[in-house]
Amino acid sequence: MADRLRTHVAVIGSGPGGAVTAALCAEAGYETLLVEEGDDLPLDACAHFSGDEILRKYRNAGIGMAFGKPSISYVEGCCVGGGSEVNRGLYHRTPPYVLEQWAKAYRVEQLSPDLLAPHFAACEGTARIAFLPGSAPPLSQRLGDGAGELGWETIQAPRLYDYESGRKQSMSATFIPRFRRAGGQVMANMRALRIRRNGKQWHAATLHQGREVTIEADALFIACGAVQTPALLRRSGFRHNVGNSLRFHPMLKAVALFDRPVNRPGDPDPVHQIKMFEPRFGIGCSISSPALLALALAGSPQMRRRIAADAARMGIYYVQNGTGHARVRGLPLARDPLVSVRHEGGDLDDLYDGLKHLMRALFAAGAEAVQPCLPGFPMLHSVDELASLPGRLPRRSAMLTSVHVFASCPMGEDRRLSATDSWGRVHDGDGLRIADASLMCGPTIANPQGSVMAIAHRNALHAIERRFA
């Protein structure tokens, strides 16, 4: 490969934000390069949620940490298609009240639910959304039953999934083929190190198989995900409200042991969710393979010992909300940024209260025992034992986990709060654009990928209409 590549448009990062943006630019007739640090692997290169997948498709073998009290352990995808390749594709449009809050607090232009609806619909036309045909697997159904006993509503979430072919509607199965059909080129195993303006062009210094390759582009979109985008921008000297407001959907988990099998190999992914307590907290079901049970029960030896005999009777469930405000900062000589988090207000208390609600629902569903996945917490055998738990979540020993990261470079016209304008143009950035989950103005409350795609779609069309000015 030459050590200089010239293109009209370069998009760095091929997750949902980057893939949607790149497809639209290529289809508008612009020569477009989609640059991705990770490997270009087929969707079925490794089994979903296997150790192999974690090693090959996740960043740093699934280890990411936001340090705080408590810390948040998070994961990111790192392959062509980004997080969409490794996630479950549970799908929601952004709740209207969330969009309205963002538009008001950050002064985001034209972000009403009605104006975003065509962008959701356009993305759903390519990455199709479906409800599980037939009945939900027992692990999922149990959450529905328990909630029903308590008079709580549940929903069965749709997924980015084609149930007929059994294929996930990840970016490598949807927008990236669309991008390639329009003549776009994917450059995998290429990590952007720095970007800079050079006259009327953008230059991105990248590393490809140990060699420096410079990409020269007339228009540049950064879509490296909500942790890596601010890291790249800060390395390149763009700092205004960049990396100061990273948010998560942190989770606490509990494992339930039922009286009969609920967790059979080959069952479809669970889909029940309890959304009626949002935004204080939301509840759902997790994949519960023996490997993931072992991980969830790492701090709970009593229940962990039972996995070999009883995995089929066990299910992992979670509660999540938007606790934590984090910062992303570069470290000299380090490849990855330092992420630090602080928890404000009552969000942590709400999350802990949500864990207790979840455990009530699991007992109401007939669980024989429930193990909160918190170090030192006892296995509970009845709902009455919930009263014996500590009144507050232990700040030092608790570990939260998250698979959703966003809001590190929020958009809007209020420059005191935002890193870009309402359309993803970095303030004073000479037309440099962000096109990923970083742009959100806070937690989406719902699963975020639909929001990332719709906002990228809206902003890419805006950029194309203005010829990237």
Ligand X SMILES: Cc1cc2nc3c(=O)[nH]c(=O)nc-3n(C[C@H](O)[C@H](O)[C@H](O)COP(=O)(O)OP(=O)(O)OC[C@H]3O[C@@H](n4cnc5c(N)ncnc54)[C@H](O)[C@@H]3O)c2cc1C
* Cα separation, 65 vs 61, whole angstroms: 12
Contact (Cβ atoms closer than 8 angstroms) between residue 122 and residue 23: no
Which of these ranges, 76-84, 318-326, 328-336, 349-357, lies near ligand X under the rule CB under 6 A?
76-84
Residue 14 binds ligand X, judged by CB under 6 A: yes
Q: In the stretch 146-185, what mask flags binding to ligand X with x, by CB under 6 A? A: ----------------------------------------
| DSSP reduced 3-state for 120 | helix
Of 89, 137, 424, 442, the one binding ligand X by CB under 6 A: 89
> Of 176, 256, 364, 452, which lies in the binding site for ligand X, with binding defined by CB under 6 A?
452
Q: How far is the CB of 160 from ligand X (least distance, A)?
A: 8
Report which DSSP code applies to 386: G
Nearer to ligand X, 306 or 418 (CB): 418
Asked if 232 and 196 touch (Cβ cutoff 8 Å), the reply is no
Burial class of 155 by CB neighbour count within 10 A (0 to 12, 13 to 18, 19+): middle
By CB under 6 A, residue 124 contacts ligand X: no
Measured from the CB of residue 57, what is the shortest distance to ligand X in angstroms? 9
**Cβ distance to ligand X smaller for residue 220 or 223:** 223
Q: Of the ranges 7-15, 336-344, 349-357, 425-433, which one interacts with ligand X (CB under 6 A)?
A: 7-15
- Asked if 9 interacts with ligand X (CB under 6 A), we say no
| 309 CB-near residues (< 8 Å, 6+ apart) | none
The residue range among 35-43, 114-122, 315-323, 415-423 that interacts with ligand X, by the rule CB under 6 A, is 35-43
Task: Tally Cβ neighbours within 10 Å of residue 113.
Answer: 16
Query: What does 31-90 look like in DSSP terms, one character per residue?
Result: -EEEE-SSB---TTSS-TT-HHHHHHHBGGGG-EEEESSSEEEE--B-BTTGGGGTS--B
Reported as type and span, the H/E element at residue 102 is helix 96-106
What is the residue whose two structure tokens read 């779609």?
A: 457
CA end-to-end distance (rounded Å), the chain: 30
Residue 16 sits in the site that holds ligand X (CB under 6 A) = yes
* x/- letters, 403..422, toward ligand X (CB under 6 A): xx------------------
337 binds ligand X (CB under 6 A): no
Binding mask 211-230 for ligand X (x = CB under 6 A): ------------xxxx-x--
d(CA 27, CA 76): 28
* Cis peptide preceding 270, ω within 30 of 0: no
For ligand X, give the closer residue by CB, 13 or 354: 13
When CB distances to ligand X are compared, the closest residue is: 15
Tokens 């390519």 appear where?
126
Site for ligand X contains 326 (CB under 6 A)? no
75 interacts with ligand X by CB under 6 A: yes
Min dist CB 301 to ligand X, Å, is: 26
Q: Extract the tokens encoding 295.
A: 């991980």
Among 30-38, 103-111, 195-203, 314-322, the segment contacting ligand X (CB under 6 A):
30-38
Q: In sequence order, which residues have a C-beta less than 8 Å from that of residue 118 and are 6 or more positions away? A: none
Q: Can you tell me which of 77, 146, 270, 372 binds ligand X, judged by CB under 6 A?
A: 77
- Contact assessment for residue 90 and residue 159, using Cβ atoms and an 8 Å cutoff: yes
**Distance of alpha carbon 68 from alpha carbon 290, whole angstroms:** 29
In the complex, least distance from residue 363 CB atom to ligand X, rounded to whole angstroms:
26
Indicate whether 107 belongs to the interface with ligand X (CB under 6 A): no
Say whether residue 83 binds ligand X (CB under 6 A).
yes
Nearer to ligand X, 124 or 436 (CB): 436
CA dist 74 and 337 (Å) reads: 13
Contacts to ligand X by CB under 6 A: 12-18, 35-38, 75-79, 82-84, 86-90, 191-192, 223-226, 228, 232, 403-404, 436-437, 447-449, 452
